[in-house]
Amino acid sequence: MNGIALGIDVGGSGIKGAPVDLATGSLAAERLRVETPQPSTPEAVAEVVAQIVDHFAAALGDGAIGVTVPAVVTGGVVRTAANIDQSWIGTDADALFTGRLGRAVHLVNDADAAGVAEARFGAARSTKGLVVVTTLGTGIGTALLLDGRLVPNSELGHLEIDGYDAETRAASSARENEGLSWEDWAARLQRYYGAIEDLLWPALIVVGGGISKKADKFLPLLHLRAPIVAAQLRNEAGIIGAAVLADEERVSD
């Protein structure tokens, strides 16, 4: 092990990757971003992943490779597809990517990756007890961490609240698509995070996703029992967490 792993974050518009220094959580080289192919089928995404792996081959050496997807992943198989091409459902993506690259690839949920990165190196570093990390983007992703350990595949973005799938009302995309003011969106976030904390009583809530750059516009409008803070690793959390999880998976094999 050379202390480096490659993290690749598959999003709706871009696929971003970089080698990660596993001791510090910092990127060991400037990240590479490639447009997400449309339609973003598993095969098309595997091609881009291969391109990113080639680009960083020298820096990576025999380091592990982790790839995020915005979906539930169990045993390498993608089980849902709320905001990605439906053809992912049932795909053994670990096997597909590993076959395409000729080396092991570890697939993880995008919010789980972001959560692990925040717990290890960011806003939830050394927080004891239950931390809920949420990513507000096209959908809402969630990660549960207990004393820093991930409980994988929580899908609390799909809690039913007031008869709606929560992410359709409170994701960042809902604010943009409906042209909501910060106050109106914050009212929906209040309802969402209030439900989360009534069910789970976390020690800390972390808010990630691109919109967390503007956390000062909406976090002060929320009134919750638990502290709620902006993510620190922002755009890089998925890359960093994917690298960390891939490395851990390899060590445990």
The residues that touch ligand BGC, with contacts defined as CB under 6 A, are 70-72, 80, 82-83, 109-111, 135, 137, 139, 141, 155, 157, 167
* Shortest CB 52 distance to ligand BGC, Å: 19
CB 233 within 8 A of CB 116: no
The dihedrals phi and psi of 157, each to the nearest 5 degrees, come to: -70, -20
d(CA 227, CA 250): 34
CB 74 within 8 A of CB 66: no
* Shortest CB 165 distance to ligand BGC, Å: 9
CB 63 within 8 A of CB 19: yes
**Minimum CB distance to ligand BGC smaller for 19 or for 157:** 157
**Minimum CB distance to ligand BGC smaller for 111 or for 228:** 111
**Minimum CB distance to ligand BGC smaller for 155 or for 236:** 155
* Shortest CB 21 distance to ligand BGC, Å: 25
**Minimum CB distance to ligand BGC smaller for 82 or for 231:** 82
* Shortest CB 229 distance to ligand BGC, Å: 19
CB 241 within 8 A of CB 247: no
Give the type of residue at 178.
E
